[in-house]
Amino acid sequence: MFRRSFLASAALALALGSAANAQDDPTKVGFVYVGPIGDGGWTFTHNEGRLAVEEAFGDDVETIFQESVPEGADAERAMTQMALSGVDIVFATSFGYMDQIIAVAEKFPDVRFEHATGYKRADNVSTYSARFYEGRAVQGHIAGSMTESNVIGYIASYPIPEVIRGINSAYIHAKKANPDVEFRVVWVYTWFDPAKEADAATALIEQGADVILQHTDSTAPLAAAAEAGNVIGFGQASDMADFKPAPRVSSILDIWGPYYVDRVQAVKDGTWGSVDTWHGIGDGMVGIGEITDAVPADVAAEAMALKESIAAGEYHPFTGPLNMQDGSVWLADGEVADDGTLLGMNFYVEGLSGDIPQ
Amino acid sequence: MDLSSINWVLLIASLMVASTPILLAALGELVVERAGVLNLGVEGMMIVGAVTGFAAGLETQSATLGFAAAAVGGAALSLLFGVLTQVLMSNQVATGLALTLFGLGLSALIGQGYIGIRGVEVPEVNWGPLGDIPVLGTILFRHDAMVYLSLLLCAAIWYFLQHSRAGLILRAVGESAEAAHALGYKVVRIRLAAIAFGGACAGLGGAYISLVRVPQWTEGMTAGAGWIALALVVFAAWRPGRLLLGAYLFGGLTVLQLNLQAAGVAIPVEYLSMSPYILTILVLVVMSSGRARAALGAPAALGKSFHAAA
């Protein structure tokens, strides 16, 4: 609360300051973050995107941001405040802001809104997201190739399509690399709770997992892996480079900077329009962090080849033949999953055990 | 369902580790509440302890100094609460809540430079051959010193409250500040001391998360442990023995549900997550019903301000 009101008054001071020299007229860009910048994961990477915008445009742009804005009514207040302070474009970086964005966007038709991971659009509202499941495919390949116990632990956050896609993609490619592989999924119902993530990792390791995949934001699972020894893991959202070369053997990177720069440029050029963007490795929105020496050279080379073929569009991580968990056919041989199914994915593929909590 | 993949011995060992932060914080809060003060700022003091402990441990490369600094940090923050509520007579509930919010912000500020860094190593206590005893050795003799300290502290607080003169005075202050004052005891001073002790314990609990359980610093990392500690004190009916039991039960539920999931047992996660709070409510209902009410044991002057009228 203290920090938020401090930032709010800072934002107000910035707004007053910019009103004084409005003739210079830099493009004003607002960012709404769901967590603290210091989370080392999701919000951290969006802030890196903001810094990329500042670097690309220098004095021609002015950015403001608000951290730890709760999803729900408070987000509406935060975005209204930003709109009133004269921003040209707002990037709202959490799924749960969706209805608030639509409401605020109606009131401020001259302000453009960009909503990360949402699906509701309007004339002045765009949506954007990244195909993280492409990165999960590469991760799954490394995990399947490296495991010796054939047990891979997966720390999942919430049972939503985004997370389920990741589990399926990782499993499919781990299984290809190692037919004996088995996934143990633990749902922790949080994006960020280091103590709980550490406990989940420990529970998985105690039950024989020697690879830990995570869809939560903190580095706690890597710390638990480091303590256990002989267990590997991956950076999530950001590189988590402090745990190189092991347990962090690679990572999935969220790279928002180029997209943000593009969209701000579009505002400057007057070409901004409402779009729906879903970019992957090929477009540079998803990156694979350095694969360390802890991974055997041939596995690393295979992983890079997989990454390249996905980037070039030659290979789609969800290519048939693939069955659903109950054995019914999902994709025939050579068939590729369509985006609609992927966006609403609520089922496991064949081979995964357990149920998705409803 | 395959329960055989769960290693129950390791589970009990990690249960003890998972429970230690809330046990430490709740022990401190128990003493504070026994002195008649309700400090809802446990979460804030824990997170400040977590960051000062992590930072001091890293700078000095000594886990001991880290824990010491965490205790000092937690106590310092709690004294802010103490001065506001005991000297300036502010409302305890509001001040406690403010302390939590303040602690979260302050810790984020202090922790700026420490995000994502590896912390100092906390060694396990070497019990020699005892650690090699099958089952018992793994459960009891392969922990760091803080686990044992928390158990000792629990026993010490029990002895202090039940069998020492100073403990009797502290309880008197919590039952009737006026009466204690009339007997010549310095109510405000005693309460300030209790508050500082509670802050130090909360700080230690927070540091246990950032130095042992996770171990690293991230903003907001206590994630509600302070509130569980508060519920725990009520659950335990203000008794150290029950508190230990409750802490291991609460911590055990978390570890158990994660292990059950990892073993592929289909369990409704939501119910297990809320179970500590449901248990607390149930215990309250049972204890406050009818004749058993006297056994509830809440300090009579809990949460009431005391001002020595001239």
pLDDT tens for B213-253 read 888 888 888 878 898 899 899 888 899 999 999 999 888 88
Is residue B190 scored above 70 in pLDDT?
yes
- What pLDDT is recorded for position B136? 81
Give the sign of the dihedral formed by CA A73, CA A358, CA A176, CA A179: positive
- Choose among A189, A218, A219: nearest Cβ to B269: A189
Q: One-letter amino acid identity for B237? A: A
- What pLDDT is recorded for position A48? 93
Contact A242 B116 (CB under 8 A): yes
- What pLDDT is recorded for position A21? 41
Q: ipTM above 0.85?
A: no
Average pLDDT, chain B: 87
- What pLDDT is recorded for position A357? 82
CA of A238, closest CA in chain B: separation in Å?
A: 11
- What pLDDT is recorded for position A4? 54
Q: Residue B112: which pLDDT band, with cuts at 50, 70 and 90?
A: confident
- What pLDDT is recorded for position A23? 42
Name the closest residue on chain A to residue B17, using Cα atoms.
Answer: A199
Q: Residue B78: which pLDDT band, with cuts at 50, 70 and 90?
A: very high
- What pLDDT is recorded for position A66? 93
Cβ within 8 Å of residue A11, ≥6 positions away: A64, A66, A81, A82, A85
Average pLDDT, chain A: 88
Chain A: residues touching B (Cβ < 8 Å): 1-3, 35-36, 38-40, 153, 184-190, 192-196, 198-200, 202-204, 206-209, 218-220, 223-224, 226-227, 240, 242-243, 353-355, 357
**Distance between CA atoms of B19 and B42, rounded to whole angstroms?**
16
Interface test with B, best of A4, A189, A196 (most B CBs within 10 A): A196
C-alpha triplet B164, B168, B170: angle, nearest 5°: 115
Residues of chain A with pLDDT under 70: 1-24
Percentage of chain B exceeding pLDDT 90? 55
Other residues' Cβ atoms within 10 Å of the Cβ of residue B120 = 19
Contact B264 A202 (CB under 8 A): no
CA of B122, closest CA in chain A: separation in Å?
A: 11
Is residue B27 scored above 90 in pLDDT?
yes
- What pLDDT is recorded for position B229? 92
Cβ contacts of A185 on chain B, cutoff 8 Å: 261
Q: Residue B262: which pLDDT band, with cuts at 50, 70 and 90?
A: confident
- What pLDDT is recorded for position A300? 94
Is residue B279 scored above 90 in pLDDT?
no
- Choose among B112, B209, B269: nearest Cβ to A357: B269
**Distance between CA atoms of B164 and A35, rounded to whole angstroms?**
48
Tokens representing A259 are 């997209």
- What pLDDT is recorded for position A18? 44
**Distance between CA atoms of A283 and A21, rounded to whole angstroms?**
37
pLDDT in tens, B141-153: 888 899 999 999 9
Name the closest residue on chain B to residue A155, using Cα atoms.
Answer: B262
- What pLDDT is recorded for position A315? 93
- What pLDDT is recorded for position A10? 53
**Distance between CA atoms of A278 and A280, rounded to whole angstroms?**
7
CA of A267, closest CA in chain B: separation in Å?
A: 33
Residue B10 vs residue B272, higher pLDDT: B10
Contact B108 A202 (CB under 8 A): no
CA of A189, closest CA in chain B: separation in Å?
A: 8
Interface test with A, best of B109, B216, B253, B267 (most A CBs within 10 A): B216
- What pLDDT is recorded for position A7? 53
Name the 3-class secondary structure at A250. strand
Other residues' Cβ atoms within 10 Å of the Cβ of residue A333 = 9
Cβ within 8 Å of residue A12, ≥6 positions away: A81, A85
Report the 3 state secondary structure along chain B: CCHHHCCHHHHHHHHHHHHHHHHHHHHHHHHHHHCCCCCCCHHHHHHHHHHHHHHHHHHHCCHHHHHHHHHHHHHHHHHHHHHHHHHCCCCHHHHHHHHHHHHHHHHHHHHHHHECCCCCCCCECCCHHHHHCCCHHHHHCCCEHHHHHHHHHHHHHHHHHHHCHHHHHHHHHHHCHHHHHHCCCCHHHHHHHHHHHHHHHHHHHHHHHHHHHCCCECCCCCCCHHHHHHHHHHHCCCCHHHHHHHHHHHHHHHHHHHHHHHCCCCCCHHHHHHHHHHHHHHHHHHHCCHHHHHHHCCCCCCCCCCCCCC
